Structure 1
Amino acid sequence: MSVRSGSVSDRTPAHLPVSLCAISGFYRMTFYWHLNRISDCVWPQGRDLKNVSILCNYIYLQKLELPYNKIKDLSCVSHMPYLITLDASHNQLTDFFGFQPPKNLKEVNFSHNQMTAMKDLSAYSSLTKLILDHNSFSVIRGLEKCKRLSHLSLAHNNISRIRGLDHLPLRELCLAGNMINKIENLQTLHNLQVLDLSCNRIQSLTGLQNLRFLGTVNLESNLITEIKEAAHLHDLILLREINLLKNPVQDHDDYRIAVIFLLQHLILLDKQTVTAEEKVAAVNKYDPPLEVVAARDHMTHLVYQLMQPQVIFDSTLPSLDAPYPMLVLTGPQACGKRELAHKLCQEFSDYFAYGACHTTRGPYFGEEDGLDYHFVTEEEFHNMIQMGQFIQTMQYGGHWYGLSRESIERVAREGLACCVHMELEGVFSLKNSYFEPRYVLLIPSVVDNYVLFLKARGFYSNAQMETAVSRIDLYARINRERPGFFDSIIPCDDRAEAYRSLKQLVKEYLGLEEHSGGGDSSSITPDNTSTNTTGELPAASATESTDLMDSYSRNYQKKIQANMTPQRTEMASNHRRLQQIREALSGKSPGAYAELFQRSVPAAPSSLASQSHPPAGPSSSPVRPAGLSAPNLSEDSSSEESRASSGLSMRSSAGVFSAESPARGSDAGSGPNIEPLDISMLGQDRDSLRGLTPDAPRPASDRVSPTHPSSPGRPGANVKPVLPPIPSGRKTNDSGSKQ
């Protein structure tokens, strides 16, 4: 036995014999003199001690360790009032705390004994740590008054239910290796931080959701089968480690990623470190941000589109920098997007046409197939995805929605801008494409009125209405956190007022202004600026005109701004673009399509060679495809510049084959002429073109006006006259006078 004395340990033998009866005479007196001052007693392990009653005289002992012996009686502890730590593990004790309680006893280890029943420990008020592993306890009892107990271990007993622990200040609880089927009666353990329930029969994690300080959970070797059980721990923000090894739940696909997603604060899962890459992968898989969903959607449609035969779309514009004009109305469900889009397209039918989306949901009352939506089955919808027919798709309310390429092309064939409506997810997806629409957000400002409107329609369940209301905050947050994401925001509480605001906004986009001409009638002018009676430009209009000078729109400007040098200002950039437009219209520089086809230009027919290739010389004019007249430059150039500057005033691919398209060629003497485009590819009649030279005058009836196309069509136009896009597609009454 090794003993240590507080003040005279240097005089005390390091090792005392097992039999203390041999001590006699002077040595016995000396021993008992030190005996009253010994504070620690650590008996060597494995000495097969059975009787330690001689320790009754160690009244000042504070630490007593007697593990791995055959002790059956610890009544000697009753004579140790100052004892703090007692280790009697791996013995043959059957009596639970069979001694008078030392008033300061804090830590007790009775593991690996033969105890069967717990008794009341109210007298042990100072007890902080109690280890009772590997005994035969079946019920937890007698701990109600242990108000300082912070560590309790009852592993490998016969406990079948968790009870008797109410309101204890436990920080660590170990109940491993028992017969527990259900986690219960732990909601009052508010300080619990470490819980070990391994090697039990637990099937559900319910019962842990209120342990807000829980940081470590060991559930190895249980019967947990569903990943969704981890959701009970979702709100435990301090949870850092969980062990689910040897549970059936590990057989699920993506088990680890799924648990990491549900418990995103984890550091260790199944004794393995959770990496940042795993957390990102988990979020992207089960709750991806809108940007990730949109990127995946765009990549999917782009790949499927590339697998289809490649054609030049009707929405392709002559300028490679110019986006096809589109207007997108977005906002929460039932905010009036569809109604306002229809009304806008009816009133501005010379500029806009409605693009109907596809959906897998059934039609609501009053909706018509092909007019409001294209209603298709889910199988048809996914077949269209695989055929590359969609620009963007999204899933909302359990149904699929998608904007098809054909919906846009159908409008582009008419030379009009496409007006569509979609939810926020569709906007994110469309922003990844090469389209650069104007995005107008319609959002309710009075939630109560919005809820009443949803209820009045009678189409939506309570869950659908709650989802719709919650998305108002989502739209507001996106608008707040991403300045410029929407080009304009319009409150939609009053539909009539919302349409008036939308109408005025569209007029500003198109450069249309209403002004009085000495009477009550008003007229619409195609200029981007308006003048007052004095002929001066209002300050507000000048500011708006400056904002609209950028033909790329605000969204497109952000993409190209990184490629601009810091010295270039916005006005300089606008001036450069307008200069390029003037040069293209006057024939000083080849058009975008001339540069495109210059890579592999098909040879012109021999019968047209003399007509398509005039002799080069100082007097030769720029080369143009036969049958196309020179651009009409008699109109006000400022009007043309302002038209080209509007984000919704872009020319469609019809301009390539019309009189207003840039001439394909170069100035005389500037270099070799550009090979003209093979007219036979356009489906033209050679006989009708024979005898015409590029500069030959044409009859007045054949001249091209901004409202009448010069050619019967182009590939895919179905022989229907193609209206050039805005503003060339305007059906004005004074077009004949301009000619």
Structure 2
Amino acid sequence: MSTPKTKVEGEKHAEIGDAEDLDRAGESAPTVNEIMIIDPDTLELDLNHGRIGKMQNLEPLRNIERLYLRWNFIKKIENIETLTTLVELELYDNQITKIENLHTLVNLEMLDLSFNKIKEIEGLEHNLNLKKLFLSSNKIHKIKNVKHLKNLELLELGDNKLREIENIDGMTSLSHLYLGKNKIAKIQNLETLSNLRCLSLQSNRLKQIENLNDLVNLTELYLSENILTKIENLDNNIKLETLDLAQNKITIIENLEHLAELEELWMNDNDISDWASLQSLENNKKIATVYFERNPFSQDPMYRPKLRRIMPSLTQIDATLCR
């Protein structure tokens, strides 16, 4: 085990100090060896909230598999070339601007660089064993340089500056794809992702549900906070269990009768006013949870009893459990 030299306090990044203050103070952010006595045989090292300013003095870690450096003040990925046994590397919420110096980490399966200042996906040419790649909340404009990651199962690119879904064709191991909170205007270029189970495109600029016909293994689809007006083109997605269409401009419930596995339907904050269209949901025998609040029809005094008559399987309506 690695032994702490000092107690590291603070549970949130905002509570452990301002990075600009540290910059003004010069080299006041500690390095790894200043807060830990490293055990060379440790398999896992947790340096989260360490106020660390530089990655160094990690060479003694001969067997390290998991290295956690969340919520620090690191600006550069460096001095980790000897950590060839690493399986997981977390650098969430630092000040990193470039993906680099990972070429020797050939056993890496999970890399988390979310909440940094990265503008480009690069430097992963040798990390062929990656299964999970987290790059949310950066400044990335384009999906690229990931197609060679044939073992990748999860790709998280939410909260970036993407305008197009591209350059991920043929990634048949991908099961979870998160592209929420970008500027994407069209669902496209997903046809070859035959094993995709979860697709998130929340908070984009989508006007139409389209080009999902080949994603026959989808079980979760998140399309809230777009500008959709119609439920359509889900004919082949018969394995869907969760469908999120909240905060759109949909006026009618339709084209869901064939989704026999559907358990959760989120459609709050739309423009549905007519109860008649909800009658079609009586065919969805497994629906347990629905969110319909802030639709015009939800103002009906008999809102909850009517929903339960249509869908006897319900266990939750909006945020309230059924009794």
Query: What TM-score do you get using the length of structure 2 for normalisation?
Result: 0.76
Given candidates 255, 260, 265, the residue that maps to 1:207 is 255
Q: Counterpart amino acid of 1:214?
A: L
Decide whether aligned partners of structure 1 residues 259 and 95 sit closer, same or farther in structure 2, where only a CA change above 3 A counts. same
1:264 pairs with 2:264:
no
2:146–2:168 CA contact under 8 A, matched in 1: no
8 Å CA contact 1:112–1:134 kept in 2: the answer is yes
Tell me whether 1:163 sits opposite 2:210 in the alignment: yes
**Taking structure 1 as reference, are residues 265 and 68 closer, same or farther at Cα in structure 2, changes over 3 Å only?**
same
* Aligned partners of 1:227 and 1:258 also within 8 Å: no
Given candidates 171, 184, 191, the residue that maps to 1:124 is 171
1:88 is matched with 135
Following superposition, the deviation at residue 96 of structure 1 comes to 1.1
Q: Secondary structure at the match of 2:195?
A: coil
Pair 1:44–1:240, CA change in 2 (3 A): closer
Aligned to 2:102: 55
CA contact (8 A) 1:152 1:173 kept: yes
Quickly say closer, same or farther: Cα 1:33–1:225, change in 2 above 3 A.
Answer: closer
Q: Which amino acid aligns with 1:174?
A: Y
TM-aligned CA deviation for residue 43 of structure 1: 1.0
SS at 1:64's partner residue?
Answer: strand
Shift of 1:38: 1.0
Q: 1:220 aligns with which of 248, 264, 268?
A: 268
Q: Distance in 1 between matches of 2:92 and 2:137?
A: 13
Residues 419-458 of structure 1: matches in 2 within 5 Å?
A: none
Task: Indicate the residue corresponding to 1:10 in structure 2.
Answer: 42
CA distance in 2, matches of 1:52, 1:121: 19
Write out per-residue CA displacement over residues 203-225 of structure 1, whole angstroms, 9 at most, x where no aligned residue. 00111111111111000100000
Aligned to 1:494: none
Secondary structure of 1:79's aligned partner: coil
The aligned residue for residue 183 of structure 2 is 136
Q: Deviations over 1:586-643 (max 9, x none)?
A: xxxxxxxxxxxxxxxxxxxxxxxxxxxxxxxxxxxxxxxxxxxxxxxxxxxxxxxxxx
Identify if the C-alpha distance between structure 1 residues 254 and 23 changes in structure 2 by more than 3 Å, giving closer, same or farther.
closer
CA offset digits 1:116-154 (Å, max 9, x no partner): 111142221100001111000010111111111001100
Deviation per CA, 1:248-306: give whole Å up to 9, x if none: 0022342222222122221112222222xxxxxxxxxxxxxxxxxxxxxxxxxxxxxxx
Aligned to 2:153: 106
Q: How does 1:107-506 map to 2 (within 5 A)?
A: 107-168=154-215, 169-275=217-323
1:94–1:115: 8 Å Cα contact kept in structure 2?
Answer: yes
2:122 aligned partner: 75
Structure 1 residue ranges without an equivalent (≥5): 3-7, 276-739
Shift in CA distance, 11/140, structure 1 to aligned 2, threshold 3 Å: closer
Distance 1:52 1:119 in 2: 20
The question of whether the paired residues in 2 share the 8 Å contact of 1:220 and 1:247 is answered with yes
Distance in 2 between residues matched to 1:270 and 1:14, nearest whole Å: 39
- Report the Cα distance in structure 1 between the residues aligned to 2:249 and 2:171, rounded to whole angstroms: 33
One-letter amino acid matched to 2:141 = T
How far is the alpha carbon of 1:161 from its aligned partner? 0.0
What's the CA shift for 1:33?
7.2
- What are the superposed Cα offsets for residues 494-535 of structure 1, whole Å, 9 maximum, x if unpaired? xxxxxxxxxxxxxxxxxxxxxxxxxxxxxxxxxxxxxxxxxx
Could you tell me how far 1:34 is from its partner in structure 2? 3.9
Structure 1 pair 242/27, CA: closer, same or farther in 2 (3 Å)?
Answer: closer
Cα deviation code 1:328-352 (max 9, x no counterpart):
xxxxxxxxxxxxxxxxxxxxxxxxx
Q: Which amino acid aligns with 2:176?
A: K
CA–CA distance in 1 between the matches of 2:250 and 2:223? 12
Question: Taking structure 1 as reference, are residues 9 and 244 closer, same or farther at Cα in structure 2, changes over 3 Å only?
Answer: farther
What SS does the corresponding residue of 2:103 show, helix, strand or coil? Answer: helix
Q: What is the 5 A alignment of 1:571-590?
A: none
Task: Give the 3 Å change call, closer, same or farther, for CA 11–39 of structure 1 in structure 2.
Answer: closer
1:505-584 correspondence runs (5 A): none
Q: Secondary structure at the match of 2:284?
A: coil
**Runs (4+) off by over 3 Å:** 11-20, 26-34, 97-100
Question: CA-to-partner distance for each residue in 1:344-369, whole Å, 9 max, x for gaps?
Answer: xxxxxxxxxxxxxxxxxxxxxxxxxx
Structure with higher helix content = 1
3-state SS in 1 of match to 2:308: helix
> In structure 2, how many angstroms separate the alpha carbons of the residues matched to 1:162 and 1:127?
21
CA distance in 1, matches of 2:307, 2:92: 47
- Measured after TM superposition, the shift of residue 29 of structure 1 is 11
Aligned position for 1:560: none
Aligned residues: 267
In the TM superposition, residue 52 of structure 1 has moved relative to its aligned partner by 2.6
Q: 1:175 & 1:235 partners in 2: Cα distance?
A: 22
Shift of 1:18: 5.5
Counterparts of 1:82 and 1:68 in 2: how far apart (Å)?
Answer: 23
Q: Give the aligned residue type for 1:170.
A: L
Partner residue of 2:20?
none
Counterparts in 2 of 1:106 and 1:13: CA distance versus 1, 3 Å: closer
Amino acid at match of 2:287: L
Change (3 A) 1:27 1:274: closer
Task: Compute the displacement of 1:14 (Å).
Answer: 6.0
State which structure, 1 or 2, has the greater radius of gyration over its C-alpha atoms.
1
Tell me how far apart the structure 2 counterparts of residues 61 and 131 of structure 1 sit (CA, whole Å). Answer: 21
Would you say the 8 A contact 1:136–1:157 is kept in 2? yes
Mapped partners of 1:91, 1:228: distance in 2: 44
Contact 1:230 1:263 in 2 (8 A): no
Distance, in Å, in 1 between the alignment partners of 2:234 and 2:105 is 41
What are the Cα deviations for residues 707-726 of structure 1, in whole angstroms up to 9, with x where unaligned? xxxxxxxxxxxxxxxxxxxx
Q: In the aligned structure 1, how far is the partner of 2:80 from the partner of 2:302?
A: 69
